[in-house]
Chains A and B, each alone.
Chain A
Amino acid sequence: MIGWSDQHDSQIEETMTDTNAYPGVPEAEFGDFVALLKPRVMSLVVFTAFVGLWVAPVEVHPFVAFCSVLFIAVGGGASGALNMWYDADIDAVMRRTKGRPIPSGRIEEGTALALGLILAGFAVMMLGLAANWFAAAFLAFTIFFYAVVYTIWLKRWTPQNIVIGGAAGAFPPMIGWACATGGISIESLLMFALIFFWTPPHFWALALFMKSDYHEAKVPMLTVTHGHAATRRHIFAYTLVLAPFAIWLGLTPVGGPIYMAASVVLNVLFIHGGWQILRRDEKESIADGYAVERRVFKLSLYYLFLHFVALLVQNWMGTW
């Protein structure tokens, strides 16, 4: 080791004998890479894409259907990794996201970017080979929309970020439908509308009782830029806009009495929840710890899940 400085020697020794080449930074385990793909968001993608594929009027081989949904999920995961790569600075500020793999130092930003890009290319190619190239192109557009249009462009710029960006989360059932049919139709557009108009009241209800996080992260959430009163009006307005699309879906060939009954009940409950949020002021909400807002947020989760379950059940029992 002639010519090497003591510092180099000690560094090499440390690297060879220490179990961690970067002191203070824990190495990632496999679960950290899985967390990078946002598995909870993926579960929504998997479920809605599966329903879109299942209720389509074209039969798909079960293994091809399984692979298609899997590749759509991988595409969703790629979007999640790209989102975490770009939003690492925001995630480090927010309490809810501080423990994510990048802000906690377990995964480097470049690794997340590489994983996101590789998985995106992989998912699109494999979906094209497994299903069809229209569905693959649709998946590529969805990943682009979430990673670039929402994450890079809209999220830090406008309080309407989740309204437009919510489209990315609404595309999966259309991609599932496209896997089976190779195209778009009124049924898949209405499934898109169902998620698209559901997203704003869902997220804004959450933002009402998670306000401090978005404020500290300087994300222009509606609650920060326009205040809670305006957010409450928007939540109620979106529940009203959402209902006709949800019920219209029940009048298409994928609908039926079971879906219609479920949809009417869920929309009445959701509009009532929106109305309750509208009528409250901050004093009341703070007094009971945002109990109503929390309840409506939970209801919004059931609202979407049960609509898609109703579509599955209706398809199984026979449509109109």
Chain B
Amino acid sequence: MTLNAEHEIHRRRRSRNVGLALVLVSFVVLVFGLTVVKVKQGDMMEGFDHQPRVSVLPPEPEASR
């Protein structure tokens, strides 16, 4: 069997490659989106450097007295 310019097997391989590319790109988008959401929902953490946000921390026992 000779190798034609466009064979059935090329179509199958292309579908695998395109499918895998889409899966990988989707994964990157998901991880990025989840990161954004998690950082924004970080509650007592600052989004930019993960430092505790002093303004929302519970008061120290000494300070509350």
Contact = CB atoms under 8 A, between A and B. Distances in A.
Given A17-B3, A18-B1, A19-B1, A30 B30 contact: no
A134 interface: no
A30 B19 contact: yes
Contact of A67 (B11, B15, B19, B30): B30
Interface string A23-37: 000111111011000
B20 to A, nearest CB: 7
A130 B38 CA distance: 8
A19 B3 contact: yes
Nearest to B2: A17
A29 B13 CA distance: 6
Contacts of B16: 28-30, 33
Interface size of A as a range: 20 to 34
A67 B33 CA distance: 9
B16 to A, nearest CB: 5
A169 B3 CA distance: 46
Contacts of B34: 63-64, 67, 129-130
A70 interface: yes
Contacts of A96: none
Nearest to B7: A19
B44 interface: no
Contacts of A31: 15
Contact of B19 (A33, A61, A126, A130): A33
Given A19-B1, A28-B16, A70-B30, A61 B37 contact: yes
Interface of B: 1-4, 7-13, 15-16, 18-20, 30, 33-34, 37, 41
17 contacts: A17-B2, A18-B1, A19-B3, A19-B4, A19-B9, A27-B12, A27-B13, A28-B12, A29-B11, A30-B16, A31-B15, A34-B19, A61-B37, A63-B33, A64-B34, A67-B30, A67-B34
Given A29-B12, A67-B34, 7 more contacts: A18-B3, A19-B9, A33-B19, A61-B37, A63-B34, A63-B37, A67-B30
**Nearest 4 pairs of A and B residues by beta carbon:** A30-B19, A29-B12, A19-B9, A29-B15
Interface of A: 17-20, 26-31, 33-34, 61, 63-64, 67, 70, 126, 129-130
